[in-house]
Amino acid sequence: MLALINITAWHWAGFILCVIFFLALDLGVFHRSPHVVKFKEALTWTAIWVLLSFGFGLLLAPAMVTGWGKQDSVEFVTGYIIELSLSMDNVFVIALIFAYFRVPSQYQHRVLFWGILGALLMRGVMIGAGAALITRFMWTLYLFGAFLIFTGVKMLFVSDEGVHPEKNVLLRLAKKFFPVTAEFHGQKFALCEQGRFTLTPLALVLLVVETTDLIFAVDSIPAIFAVTQKPFIVFTSNVFAILGLRSLYFVLAGAIDYFRYLKVGLSFVLVFIGGKMLLDSHGQPPRWFQVEIPSSVSLLVVGAIIVTSIALSVVAGRREKRAGRKL
């Protein structure tokens, strides 16, 4: 499986340099000055990132890299859609965090920028560790599958309790070891007051966002290993999904009520992916209970679940809105 792909250090370096370039362009040019990101701007950037992602997936189809083919493109697109779908749930949690800390709209993009940069580093480490673990102990894929089914069922039956930053251990430690200003100081995460290193509330928000993404990564990283165990595809699909999260937040944050059934859809996605991991032979001798589910089928199933949950959410939201008008 992994031996079919001849990915060199140049491919990794080239991709990472492109990501750094786009991030620098984002922060240094397009968002050099703090401003409120409007819906139209966010929608434009979301479309750009989606097009870039699918464009990258299409580039994998030709034999431009030894061993690449149509299967790898399907795996990338499937992994990207899974990661993007799971990130949508993260969007609504981030919205609750911003509301809890009363973060001004013009500073939210900066928190998301550095939060996503940290998320890329954390996920890179987790993907590397996961790939090494799977290569050494293939049976861990079955543990991942069981964990995803458990998480999906739990998500379906356990109600969302909202966000509780006061319970965040890292947040309590930060407050214990560093003084925190009472008010925001522009886009600054820290400053020097009376010769002391002092954090601003924006730093606390960033810390909560980072730890929240770490929790979500525990679900999303095992999920993509059900689609492929090729580190380059796992990493690139994660990166594209995370990079598009910033603009996606500003598109979806104001429409939470229209995605009420998304969590139900995501729970079915996790159960399906977990079941796929348990049924797949993962390159081992096939047994009577094992079923190979092609990546193209996984792509169709995941896409159908997400589209259906969003469509049902929109229909329900519109019905409630019409009922409210009649009253």
What mean pLDDT is reported for the chain?
81
**191 in helix, strand or coil?**
strand
- Which residue would you say has higher pLDDT here, 10 or 255? 10
* 37: amino acid identity, one letter: V
The conformation of residue 283, written as its DSSP 8-state character, comes to T
Per-residue pLDDT band at 163 (split at 50, 70, 90)? low
Q: What is the pLDDT of residues 293-326, one digit of tens each?
A: 787 888 899 889 988 988 888 888 778 777 766 6
Q: What is the pLDDT of residues 90-100, one digit of tens each?
A: 888 888 888 88
The arithmetic mean of pLDDT across residues 245-274, rounded, is 82
Q: What is the pLDDT of residues 172-213, one digit of tens each?
A: 888 888 888 888 888 888 888 777 888 888 999 999 888 888
Where are any strands of DSSP class E within 56-200? 190-193, 196-199
Whether the CA torsion 248, 249, 255, 261 is positive or negative: it is: positive
- Which residue would you say has higher pLDDT here, 48 or 11? 48
The pLDDT of residue 133 is above 80: yes
Q: Helix and strand tally (H, E) in the chain?
A: 11, 2
Per-residue pLDDT band at 88 (split at 50, 70, 90)? confident
The arithmetic mean of pLDDT across residues 20-43, rounded, is 76
**From the CB of residue 238, how many other CB atoms can be counted at a distance below 10 Å?**
26
The arithmetic mean of pLDDT across residues 71-97, rounded, is 85
What is the predicted pLDDT for the residue at 196?
Answer: 80
What is the predicted pLDDT for the residue at 195?
Answer: 74
The pLDDT of residue 70 is above 80: no
Do 275 and 302 form a contact (C-beta atoms < 8 A)?
no
What is the predicted pLDDT for the residue at 304?
Answer: 92
Distance CA 316, CA 319 (A): 5
Q: What is the 3-state secondary structure (H, E, C) of 137-153?
A: CCCHHHHHHHHHHHHHH
State the DSSP H helix or E strand holding residue 84, giving kind and residue range, or none if neither: helix 70-101
What is the predicted pLDDT for the residue at 62?
Answer: 57
